[in-house]
């Protein structure tokens, strides 16, 4: 496995989390009122989730785990193989599902769901980043 690939995506993920953190105290009314902030949050959250999915896909391929059926399955596979804890499985798979909403159903995205994702979902992104960093970043390249 090439830790540089994982490290690069983790750096991007950290940047996205930091950007999202700035908005974690925004009210739902703030998001409804300001479409630019709302669009910025949608895209940044999408990028953060995609960074997690990219990291997960890379690990699955490199460690020769089973092929994921879809994006949600990436997190299931990481849990099955002890990379992530089972207590976060449902939260992480919901995160992958929310990414699909951001990408494919953006026109009907409920601002309340975006608000909840930014105000509560950052912990899941941080958890993922911490677990991957702690397990894989200090490995020498193979």
Catalytic residues: 99, 104
Q: CA–CA separation, 117 vs 119, rounded Å?
A: 6
3-state secondary structure the chain: CCHHHHHHHHHHHHHHHHHHHCCCCCCHHHHHHCHHHHHHHHHHHHHHHHHHHHHHHHHHHHCCCCCCCCHHHHHHHHHHCCCCCHHHHHHHHHHHHHHHHHHHCHHHCCHHHHHHHHHHCHHHHHHHHHHHHHHHCCCCCC
Find where tokens 């496995």 sit.
1
Q: CA–CA separation, 38 vs 112, rounded Å?
A: 11
């Amino acid at each position: 496995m090439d830790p540089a690939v994982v490290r690069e995506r983790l750096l991007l993920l950290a940047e996205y989390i930091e950007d999202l953190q700035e908005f974690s105290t925004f009210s739902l009314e703030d998001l409804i009122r300001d479409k630019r902030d709302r669009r910025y949050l949608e895209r940044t959250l999408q990028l953060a989730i995609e960074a997690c999915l990219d990291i997960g896909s890379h690990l699955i391929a490199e460690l020769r785990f089973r092929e994921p059926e879809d994006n949600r399955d990436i997190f299931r596979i990481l849990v099955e193989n002890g990379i992530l804890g089972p207590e976060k499985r449902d939260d992480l798979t919901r995160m992958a599902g929310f990414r699909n909403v951001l990408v494919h159903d953006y026109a009907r995205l409920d601002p309340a769901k975006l608000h909840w994702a930014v105000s509560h979902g950052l912990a899941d992104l941080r958890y993922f980043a911490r677990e991957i960093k702690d397990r894989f970043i200090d490995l020498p390249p193979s």
